[in-house]
A and B are shown apart, each in its own frame.
Chain A
Amino acid sequence: MATSDAYMRTPTQQAWRRFKRSSSGKAGLLIVGFFILLAMLAPLLMPYDATKDRHLRLRLKPPSIEHLMGTDELGRDIFRRVVHGSRISLRVGVFAVGIALVLGTVLGLLAGFYGGKTDMFISWLIDIMLSFPSILLAIAIVAVIGPGISNAMIAVGIVQIPVYARLTRSMVISIKEQDYVSAAMGLGAGHARVIFKHILPNGLSPLIVQGTLSIATAILDAAGLGFLGLGAQPPQPEWGLMISKGFLYFTRAPWISLFPGVAIMIAVLGFNLLGDGMRDALDPRTVR
């Protein structure tokens, strides 16, 4: 019976089954789901305008029932800011990875499929980018295009391009030799059709896994830029920025920096666990 069951399942069902068996995947999904829900419901449940938020009489109050995470140097409720910070961090994570995924995959497809000079040039470009420490490269990019949250997003995205380009390139090179690709070519399919209909769909799973994992890196890098004053600008409730601002008051009010730090930790952990689960589900060859 078991064999016939397996026979009946679609690949998606199989993947979902493997995902359900991965405990890290489930934990990750739970955490990420929680953050996504938080980010979507925040404006409805507790509307917030960072540009007007100020309660100077309530400055530097420790955590209490009223202010679950205490208040900061302007008397702002840190809980509210951390919750709204999730909107910024998730957006940065998703958009940055989106930029990297699209550009990186295109470069990788071109390099892997055409080979020769194209491959040499693209690989050379990627090698250069990989030779920089990622946060340093991001700082350099922001230094050129100017600080700000959208620029930080672009910078973090650009930094991650080589990862996808490499991954896609190696994937294309191995799939290119498969019989079904030769068959499609033999039947007269154009390059674009072969690349997007035959090669890309068959190599998508490692990209999805990598995408989930690098959202975590992107959140961390963006927070790093915020901490350095190059990412989000005050008074935005960006987690990294909140940590760096709380630094001025660290001896007296450590909670200002502590809670955004915890939020970053949990979010990053969530995406990493989810990524692990995705790998278990989509890439069965991986030895655990």
Chain B
Amino acid sequence: MKKLIIGLLALSLAFGVASAQTLVYGQSKLPVTLDSSDAQDGNSLRVSYQITESLVAFKPGTVDPKPGLAVSWKASDSAKVWTFKLRQGVKFHDGTPFNAAAVKFNIDRWNDKSNKYRGNKQFVPFTWVFGGFKGEGSIIDHVEVVDDYTVKFYLTDSVGFFPNMLGASYFGIDSPKAVMANPDKYGTPEVGSVGTGPFVFSKWIIGDKVILKRNDNYWGPKAKVDTLVFRGIPEPASRLAELKAGAIDIANNLSPEDKVTIDSDPNLEAVVQKGLNIGYLAFHQKNKPLDDIRVRKAIAAAVDWDAIVDAFYAGLGERATEFVPPAMWGRDGHVPAYTYNPELAKKLLAEAGYPNGFKTEIWYMPVSRPYFPAPQPIAETIATYLADVGIKATLKTEDWGTYLSDYDQGKFPMYMLGWSPDYPDPDNYLYTFFGPTPIKTNLGCESEACQQIGQLLVDARTAPDMATRKELYAKVQRKVHELTLSIPVAHNNPLHAIRKGVKGWIPSPLGSSENLNLVTK
């Protein structure tokens, strides 16, 4: 009897291993939402990217656009009207067909504030990319269904990189049927999301994991594993420990200082990614005295940013001087770095009327991010430098989801934040940080100079040729430096690790657009 049981057990184990492969991905948090266009963080988008797909995709590991749900696209001469040919024969996970009407449904839902299928969603990322909602600055005027597999986008102005924008991981096309069934709860743990991607939403156990199953009807390369599990493990050290123990197969965004540990473990393999990210310290000028340029310059001069990058990036990161990383075009290239000069800082503070400093707050994110692998020690270090010149900065943090909805409310006098691009264009950095709306909400700056910066970015977006755009972006970065609106800290090449035997995983320079259907175990 005992032998029989053991035999059965061995048999089931053998078959179990052979037939049901599970890939477990350890990231710093579970998603906030799976409604991709309402998600602001990489942890949400990495998961939603497996379920819903955008019209435009990117070649794995690069920022080169390739056909996604659209097979080809063409601009009119003025680049104001874009025609997209859609992939035929694609079905959503719920069996409904993907077609031009579905695309129009999605765009209208995001673009039109009066659309009744928006539910309680804010779609903030849509405003980052397209400049606002319809009638409030959105560059998308309307979408026209030409035939079942052709859509035309009518823009309010010419935009040469429009397909790149649509490729941002926010704009996964959701099944209209699923959205209409429950607009409020779409994307929540209860309902999940329904798209056309290589994985189908199966289950989201709150606070534990998200489980996805292979989509056997996927139009592209079918997933190599049956089940894909995402887990949220906040501490990089715990992620590494779980990877070592074999509880997860991929651990992303590890502490750079752990590279030595990973290299010395025969079961693990380090993956250093070419990063396109930027980590920065922002000032919200609604908080006095940060509206005083002398105070901001004093803070920039009080901190030894080089020492911070040396200490906390273990040689994998580099000091940032501009908001667009060196690997991307659209830089001025000559913006000087803020140099460490506590004497200058004290002098500037005295001039501004704060010879003995003042009290303020620095907010840091509670989770490690690609651009800030160790947010709390970095924040602590910044605070000690500020203490040296008399500024008493209290360190504060809050839940990551709340953090992301609070930073643009003016609640944080100074805050650490960063960015991995959604589409490969300087616009995606600069417009997101300093566009006409963000410069007001995220930085609290409503001065004329700030409005000019916003306008320059609008101009750059619609400028006809590269040379003009390049010059405008360079100008924006010079002005941002002059006004010290935010302090660029570092560009990091994030460190990840996989179990030996995991093959085909290529982290994306765009942060979350990973093709996990190509991964074998």
Contact = CB atoms under 8 A, between A and B. Distances in A.
B158 interface: no
Interface residues of B, number: 34
Given A56-B307, A56-B381, A234-B395, A248 B388 contact: no
Contact of B381 (A74, A248, A251): A74
Contacts of B307: 56
B380 A235 contact: yes
B42 interface: no
Interface in A41-77: 49, 51-54, 56, 59-60, 73-74
Nearest to B366: A229
B395 A249 contact: no
Contacts of A235: 380, 383-384, 395
Given A229-B366, A251-B258, A251-B261, A52 B377 contact: no
Given A51-B392, A56-B311, A247 B235 contact: yes
B396 interface: yes
A60 B311 CA distance: 10
B255 A249 contact: yes
A27 B241 CA distance: 38
A133 to B, nearest CB: 18
Mostly, the B contact residues are helix
A151 to B, nearest CB: 14
A74 B376 CA distance: 11
B240 interface: yes
Contacts, number: 67
A181 B476 CA distance: 84
B237 A251 contact: yes
Contacts of B374: 73, 248
Interface in A197-217: none
A233 B366 contact: no
Nearest to B397: A229
Interface string B363-377: 000101000001011
Interface of B: 235-238, 240-241, 255, 257-258, 260-261, 307-308, 310-312, 366, 368, 374, 376-377, 379-381, 383-385, 387-388, 392, 394-397
Given A59-B311, A73-B312, A252-B261, 4 more contacts: A56-B308, A235-B383, A235-B384, A251-B241
20 contacts: A49-B387, A52-B384, A52-B387, A54-B380, A56-B307, A56-B381, A73-B374, A73-B377, A74-B381, A233-B394, A235-B383, A235-B384, A245-B376, A247-B235, A248-B236, A248-B237, A248-B374, A251-B237, A251-B258, A252-B260
